[in-house]
Structure 1
Amino acid sequence: MFPAWPFPGLFPTPFLHQPLSQFRRLIVTETTTAVQIEEISPVQKKLSFDIPWEDVKKELETAYRQVGKKAHVKGFRQGKVPRKVLEVYYKGQAEEEAVTNLVNRHYWDALQAHDIQAVAQPVIDQKGIEPDKSFSFTATVEVEPLVEPKDYVGMELERQEVSVLDEDIDRRIEQIREMFATLGELSSERAIAHGDFVTLDFEGSLDGVARDEMKADGYFLEVGSGRFIPGFEDQLIGMSKEEEKEFPITFPAEYGAPEMAGKEAIFKVKIRDIREKKLPEVNEDFVKNFDKFENMEEFRADLRKSLGGEAEARSRAALRDQILDKLVTAHDFEIPPSFQDRQVILMMGDLQRSLMAKGMAKEQAARQAFSQLERMREEAKKVVKSILLLKKIAQLETIDVGDEEVEARIRELAEKRGMPVETLKQQLEEEERVEDIRLELRNEKVFEFIIERGKITPVAAPADAGEVA
């Protein structure tokens, strides 16, 4: 699935260097203040404003009136505090309110008047209000780059041919046998081999000190699964039931816990039990595990169909990857830093959740994700460029997605997830992800547009394309 658009909408409120407690967007009104616009880079503009004192004075008067309605000063009734007294006690608040209103009004008017499509919160620099002087401030804002896609019509592409061989079906059947495998006693008196399941006690020490986090009793482990640090499971191969062993293991240099990274530990293990995997025979009785098949022929025919669907999906994905690679390589342009930062955050969050789903502690998963920051920044840049290019192609070719298409995709997703359509729709609306579906559909249309007009050469699929790890 192509990454969803991670930059929805215009920002709600600008960010100011000077501390302002409230900075809200006002209803746009026409202003006469001139603004100077400087292009810092293809994705950054600097707007400079100089507001006459008369306008500042009026805004201050409005601010003091608003502050005065709620001001509490001893000796005066609420709403009746004189301006001079308010200036003593509430000057900072009133000036902050005035600055907020001035910056908001003039900034948003300038965006509208000059058709500036801001894509992130601006950086506002202002020095505050000085009596009888004009008020000046600057707003540095990021904008989308001007992208002019080229060579996307007639693109030379290679499409992986879809084919399912008998050996592909046999390989899938072996995977299904693994799913139905059971664990049993060893069929003969032998030592531990790769793929066996063992129950063991172990304890480890670091620098001669036993560590609680390196100890467990009755731990169940598949030898060769890679759940332990490299080398640990290899030491178990050849051991027998009730056998004890002591051996050194060096933690990887990039290990998640810094106090262990790169250090040698001593482990003591005792094997309590050894089990081996028992695979079912592939025969007519095996096929009866699946209600919809009467015999082996129907079973293999269904596998051929499903494998064909998977191969077709891989072929389409590979074709889309080619398109993105060619588009990004052919177009060198700067992207807004905030776009890249947001994509990195999304990718780091995805990686952290993936690691946690595999059993890694939250803090360790966060450290592991952060260690991939530089790699993710490069990948994020490619993703953002791809998104901007696809968006521009859709605009140039008037490719759009209607509401009924979005509704149809939501119904399709609901059916796949086995949930009511309205429930899924409400969930997507609450998570503000309906627009993601629209953009995903639009991207699919752009891909199809390019493929239909491309120069396609059929190629054989990689030999390991259909293997499941």
Structure 2
Amino acid sequence: MAVTVETLEKLERKITLSLPVTAIQSEVDARLKKLARTVKMDGFRPGKVPMNVVAQRYGYSVQYEVMNDKVGEAFAVAANEAQVRVAGQPRITEKEGAPTGELTFDAIFEVYPEVKLGDLADVEVEKTSSEVSDAAIDKTIDILRKQRRTFAQRALDTATAEGDRVTVDFEGKIDGETFSGGKAEDFQFMVGEGQMLKEFEDAVRGMKNGESKTFPLAFPADYHGKDVAGKTADFMVTVKKIEAAHLPDVNEALAKSLGIADASVDGLRADIRKNLEREVKSRLQGRNKQAAMDALVAKSELDLPKSIVQSEVDRLKEGARADLKQRGIKDADKAEIPDDIFVPQAERRVRLGLVVAELVRANALHAKPEQIKAHIEELSSSYERPADVVRWYYSDNQRMAEVESVVIESNVAEYVMSKAKVTEKSVSFDELMGQQG
């Protein structure tokens, strides 16, 4: 008998399922008999419990299991016959007034949408490029030197200067009252590195060892400590120690301390360039991939399956709860988080996933084995033992699936760029690094 699929609205469909009562009952009897062979009950030897006792104890739960299984099977068969692509789980309810000897159910479900992809030829996409400059290498070397700096105490009559490490006691009061976090002893910070508010640094700069000073400090309105944000405090600070920083010279010793194979200044710069170029490439790919995906979504039309969006909302909520838990928030797993917060993000993810899947299907943009292999080798190249990392990827299906997904996204981005109106934009290394990749 042909399966009738009723359209309710947009992506929602309904199929009516019929099951013979005899088929349900025979399966229930078969499962109860199987259960009777192993079930243990007080007063009976194993395998000798009478069927009527087994049925009385387990009949309801077995009936429920069988009904679920049989209705699920019937729905799968009907959906296959009707050639519908089911999105999410169906909502199944039993109907009243079924013919004698039959049970009937309504299965309401959503189908995957038809994705209409517009012509990408008139879409404008910005493609970003960047280069690793000598200045970027110099800046990285400065950071590496700072990480390895040493300190020596200055003479007592020397004033605090830029780049010094100072140890201070301080106490701040608002309206004559000390506030939380406003008092410390033997507190260290680097002058000129922005660890402290500017007024605090300005007050300490130029002070000598053993000197004390009072000064007003206006907290910014957006200061992270809400109790003091926008208020002015009176601070007293005493300098207890001033230490001058010494940065190591850029030489073979520095290269050697960093584990550079070619322990020379040229080898150090070459190694830094290689690492920075790898990071630049990764960030450019991420940025350009995002631009391509935005263009793709803008040129597509489709209805979103509510069930898939809800599943994504649930996943995002679980991620948010896990994040809260990691931050030490009490009862994070029970936190009431409204769905509305995640709906726009969930809808975008579902939309993008469906559009990408359609583009991949229509244009054969699947990840080829050689692409997956090349990507894994590139990921592994920055490690000390690349072959071990390659084996680590290939040993786990989940990791391989993640790599495949990244390769597919790259294929899609390249396809979009090849069809769209591409505008080239060059950005500085600093601007690119300022973006979260």
Aligned-partner Cα distance in 2 for 1:261–1:217: 23
Say which is worse superposed, 134-143 or 382-391, in terms of deviation: 134-143
Say which is worse superposed, 163-172 or 321-330, in terms of deviation: 163-172
Shift of 1:304: 6.3
Q: Hey, what does 1:444 align to over in structure 2?
A: 410
Shift of 1:395: 0.9
Aligned-partner Cα distance in 1 for 2:221–2:47: 70
Shift of 1:65: 2.6
Q: 2:262 aligns with which of 264, 285, 292?
A: 292
The one-character-per-residue Cα deviations of 1:121-175 (angstroms, maximum 9, x if unpaired) are 55555599x9977434455545543323222356433333545555555545544
Q: Hey, what does 1:157 align to over in structure 2?
A: 125
| Structure 1 contact 123–140 (Cα < 8 Å) conserved | yes
Aligned-partner Cα distance in 2 for 1:93–1:218: 68
Q: Hey, what does 1:341 align to over in structure 2?
A: 313
The one-character-per-residue Cα deviations of 1:241-260 (angstroms, maximum 9, x if unpaired) are 554879899798896xxxx8
Aligned-partner Cα distance in 2 for 1:429–1:205: 60
Aligned-partner Cα distance in 2 for 1:400–1:443: 9
Does residue 238 (structure 1) correspond to residue 203 (structure 2)? The answer is yes
TM-score by length of 2: 0.70
The one-character-per-residue Cα deviations of 1:199-229 (angstroms, maximum 9, x if unpaired) are 4567899997997x9886545444676778x
Aligned-partner Cα distance in 2 for 1:159–1:400: 23
The one-character-per-residue Cα deviations of 1:354-405 (angstroms, maximum 9, x if unpaired) are xx6xxxx4338979x9999866653444344333322221111112223454
Q: Hey, what does 1:395 align to over in structure 2?
A: 361
| Structure 1 contact 162–308 (Cα < 8 Å) conserved | no
The one-character-per-residue Cα deviations of 1:297-333 (angstroms, maximum 9, x if unpaired) are x766776676666555544443322211211222243
Indicate how the Cα distance of structure 1 residues 414 and 316 shifts in structure 2: closer, same or farther if over 3 A, else same.
Answer: closer
Q: Hey, what does 2:351 align to over in structure 1?
A: 385
Indicate how the Cα distance of structure 1 residues 108 and 90 shifts in structure 2: closer, same or farther if over 3 A, else same.
Answer: same
Indicate how the Cα distance of structure 1 residues 171 and 349 shifts in structure 2: closer, same or farther if over 3 A, else same.
Answer: farther
Query: Which structure 2 residue ranges, 5 or more long, are not aligned?
Result: none
Q: Hey, what does 1:10 align to over in structure 2?
A: none
How many residue pairs get aligned? The number is: 419
Q: Hey, what does 1:29 align to over in structure 2?
A: none
Say which is worse superposed, 325-334 or 177-186, in terms of deviation: 177-186
| Structure 1 contact 33–106 (Cα < 8 Å) conserved | no
The one-character-per-residue Cα deviations of 1:84-136 (angstroms, maximum 9, x if unpaired) are 444433332232232233233223323433344445455555599x9977434
Aligned-partner Cα distance in 2 for 1:220–1:442: 50
Q: Hey, what does 1:18 align to over in structure 2?
A: none
Q: 1:182 aligns with which of 132, 150, 155?
A: 150
**Counterparts of 1:35-434 in structure 2 under 5 Å?**
38-42=7-11, 45-71=13-39, 79=47, 84-118=52-86, 120-125=88-93, 134-141=102-109, 143-153=111-121, 155-163=123-131, 167-168=135-136, 170-186=138-154, 189-191=158-160, 196-200=164-168, 218-222=186-190, 234-235=199-200, 237-239=202-204, 240=207, 241=209, 243=212, 262=227, 272-280=240-248, 292=262, 311=280, 313-333=282-302, 334=304, 336-341=308-313, 344-345=316-317, 348=320, 361-363=327-329, 377-419=343-385, 421=387, 425-426=391-392, 429-430=395-396, 432-434=398-400
Q: Hey, what does 1:9 align to over in structure 2?
A: none
Say which is worse superposed, 182-191 or 430-439, in terms of deviation: 182-191
SS at match of 1:457: strand
Aligned-partner Cα distance in 1 for 2:247–2:340: 44
Shift of 1:444: 1.5
| Structure 1 contact 120–338 (Cα < 8 Å) conserved | no
Does residue 465 (structure 1) correspond to residue 431 (structure 2)? The answer is yes
| Structure 1 contact 197–274 (Cα < 8 Å) conserved | yes
TM-score by length of 1: 0.66
Amino acid at match of 2:32: Y
| Structure 1 contact 45–140 (Cα < 8 Å) conserved | yes
Indicate how the Cα distance of structure 1 residues 261 and 365 shifts in structure 2: closer, same or farther if over 3 A, else same.
Answer: farther
Amino acid at match of 2:299: A
Aligned-partner Cα distance in 1 for 2:390–2:300: 38
Aligned-partner Cα distance in 2 for 1:199–1:318: 43
SS at match of 1:432: helix
Indicate how the Cα distance of structure 1 residues 376 and 168 shifts in structure 2: closer, same or farther if over 3 A, else same.
Answer: farther
| Structure 1 contact 157–322 (Cα < 8 Å) conserved | yes
| Structure 1 contact 344–373 (Cα < 8 Å) conserved | no
| Structure 2 contact 19–102 (Cα < 8 Å) conserved | yes
Amino acid at match of 2:382: K
SS at match of 2:73: helix
Percent sequence identity over aligned pairs: 21
SS at match of 1:416: coil
The one-character-per-residue Cα deviations of 1:397-448 (angstroms, maximum 9, x if unpaired) are 1122234543443344344333464665456645722111112112222222
| Structure 1 contact 36–49 (Cα < 8 Å) conserved | no
The one-character-per-residue Cα deviations of 1:169-197 (angstroms, maximum 9, x if unpaired) are 5545544443444334358733476x654
Query: Which structure 1 residue ranges, 5 or more long, are not aligned?
Result: 1-31
Q: Hey, what does 1:8 align to over in structure 2?
A: none
Indicate how the Cα distance of structure 1 residues 295 and 101 shifts in structure 2: closer, same or farther if over 3 A, else same.
Answer: closer
Amino acid at match of 1:322: A
For the aligned residue pairs, the C-alpha RMSD in angstroms reads 5.1
SS at match of 2:37: helix
Aligned-partner Cα distance in 1 for 2:301–2:154: 61
Indicate how the Cα distance of structure 1 residues 143 and 302 shifts in structure 2: closer, same or farther if over 3 A, else same.
Answer: same
| Structure 1 contact 410–425 (Cα < 8 Å) conserved | no
| Structure 2 contact 200–217 (Cα < 8 Å) conserved | no
Aligned-partner Cα distance in 1 for 2:338–2:53: 58
| Structure 1 contact 184–277 (Cα < 8 Å) conserved | yes
SS at match of 2:113: coil
